[in-house]
Chain A
């Protein structure tokens, strides 16, 4: 009964390259959330997805960032043309039902370093 799986754990990209972060939710969970943690900061909500749908992307930067959660396969957070400021830990969480009275289970995160 695996938990939320994120890969890779560490990702190094040069400025201008693309970064792809993957998240497989817990079995039976159809709600996925992406968070970003900058140094010395708490986790900041980025996007909430259900299968094939983006429910809330209010925390996503308007440019270069996109997310998907296809019918088959993991959720992907994609960052195009990365810049140094994108360096952070990106965490994915999943839950069985949205919001109320349920906790989200987190993956171990992907640490993105832009050089």
Chain B
């Protein structure tokens, strides 16, 4: 089955700096790659996703890039703010497959 690895496990940045979180996946048939943000005491919430037919997607301060050849994808957050502090999860799945696999998570801390 699919195996998703996520790095780093913790990341601390100064407010205004950029943050990058990287994930690799093992199943070349995976074609959907969402990113979830989990705030303390809450369930994960989708912040951005990308499908295998595009290489990059951007939504305001967040962007995701996908390299299918190398089987890795990354989350980029620019101009970080304290409210970006949370745990971020990457995930991967195949189309029409209900078995989505998550990375272990990255705890991002943005220091004011």
Q: Do A and B bind each other?
A: no
